[in-house]
Amino acid sequence: MKEFTYIRAATLTDLPTGATIIAGGTNLLDLMKHEVMTPGALVDISRTGNDQVEVSGEGLRIGAMVRNSDLATNQIVRRHYPVLSRALLAGASGQLRNMATTGGNLMQRTRCPYFYDTRMACNKRSPGAGCAARGGVTRNHAIFGTSEHCIASHPSDMAVAMCALDAEVEIVGPESRRVPLDQFYRLPGDRPDIETVLQPGEAIAAVHLPAPAGGVQRYRKVRDRASYAFALVSVAAVAVLVSGRIERIALAFGGVAPKPWRNRSVEQALTGETPSPALFSNAADILLADAAGQGGNDFKLPLLRRTLTAVLHDVTEARA
């Protein structure tokens, strides 16, 4: 590990320029040990407050330092946003969730193995170096939103559920603002090293959830092991049925794109309709029309179809 200086911040509004934020450290410290990230200075935000889940307007404000385990077990989250609680509990391990934070989870880096191996070419680690994953082992890579420069997927479960809940990210810095989570992440294009709309000197202060959507909520994650593994494919769903028809539905997909993947055309095709196998099959067709496998992850296309179909059956047959 390279030498670095360490500063502890008192508030999120006076972060030193040029320093890399450390929150729970569960991802950043691994990256530093592998010398994938070599910051000269760390700023620790763990004592800046921002560790509360608060009712805000009709929704919820989740501070950036709220630990994943505290968020998963929060009574309001469990009762009104169960898809979020389920997604959190499907991630990592109990010990990791005790350290991992809301801001750090959103900002965690990809699990592309070539990104972690500094002997391999990686445009995300070293812009312009090339992409060793192309033509390599692509089991956990993306099928949507890739570019010729990067085919990595985003690893967060929490972000997928938040995306289906229409969450917004509160950014603090020279231009404090709120950004829909769906627009917070950038697709790789020709700059896979720039992953979000965060500018230098900015930090995530909180995540806002709108008023509870109600209905039936599900998070289904398919992975290589029953626990302690990242998603190959995941589906977050929030569905409201009225008189046997789908009144509203929000869907987000994990493990398949460089960001939590949302496709409004799929939701539109389902809205107002009576659930049926043919309807679900049509929804999967629309979703997969944009998909492209990389070879080693071609299995994700039929897997995503089956997972989406299973979740649609589940949310439309269950009682709210």
Ligand X SMILES: Cc1cc2nc3c(=O)[nH]c(=O)nc-3n(C[C@H](O)[C@H](O)[C@H](O)COP(=O)(O)OP(=O)(O)OC[C@H]3O[C@@H](n4cnc5c(N)ncnc54)[C@H](O)[C@@H]3O)c2cc1C
Contacts to ligand X by CB under 6 A: 20-28, 45, 64, 91-92, 96, 99-101, 103-105, 107-108, 155-158, 203-204, 230
Of the candidates 275, 213, 282, the residue with the CA atom closest to the CA atom of residue 250: 213
# residues contacting ligand SF4 (CB under 6 A): 14
Residues near 267 by beta carbon (within 8 Å), at least 6 away in sequence: 249, 250, 251
Does position 123 bind ligand SF4 by CB under 6 A?
A: yes
Chain centroid to CA 302: how far? 22
Which residue's CB is nearer to ligand SF4, number 85 or number 138? 138
Contacts of 128 (CB under 8 A, 6+ apart): none
Taking the complex as a whole, the smallest distance from the CB of residue 149 to ligand SF4 amounts, in Å, to: 6
Instruction: Closer to ligand X by CB, 144 or 219: give it.
Output: 219
Closest distance to ligand X from the beta carbon of 215 (Å): 24
* Binder of ligand SF4 out of 31, 97, 114, 235 (CB under 6 A): 114
Least separation, in Å, of the C-beta of 25 and ligand SF4? 21
The pair of three-digit structure tokens given for residue 22, joined into one six-digit string? 């450390």
Residues facing residue 216 across a β-bridge:
239
Angle at 77 between CA 74 and CA 82, to 5 degrees: 125
Nearer to ligand X, 107 or 181 (CB): 107
Judged by beta carbon distances under 5 to 8 A according to partner kind, the member of ligand SF4, ligand X, none in contact with residue 122 is ligand SF4
Q: Which is nearer to ligand SF4, 59 or 145 (CB)?
A: 145
Q: Which does 21 bind (CB under 5 to 8 A by kind): ligand X, ligand SF4, none?
A: ligand X
- Rounded to a whole number of angstroms, the minimum distance from the CB of residue 182 to ligand SF4 is 21
Dist CA 14 CA 202 (whole Å): 10
**Cα–Cα distance between 236 and 244 in angstroms, integer?**
21
Q: Which two tokens stand for residue 159?
A: 């972000």
Among 68, 85, 110, 234, binds ligand SF4 (CB under 6 A): 110
Residues 6+ away with beta carbon under 8 Å from 217:
81, 82, 83, 86, 236, 237, 238, 239, 315
> Pick from ligand X, ligand SF4, none: which does 108 bind, CB < 5 to 8 A by kind?
ligand X
Query: Nearest distance from residue 191's CB to ligand SF4, in Å?
Result: 11
Site string for ligand SF4, 188-207 (x = CB under 6 A): ----x---------------
Closest to ligand SF4 by CB, 150 vs 222, is: 150
Closer of 80 and 97 to ligand X (Cβ): 97
List 64, 66, 112, 251, residue binding ligand SF4 (CB under 6 A): 112
Q: Which is nearer to ligand X, 15 or 213 (CB)?
A: 15
The position carrying tokens 């929804």 is 283
Residues that bind ligand SF4 (CB under 6 A): 110, 112, 114-115, 122-124, 131-133, 150-152, 192
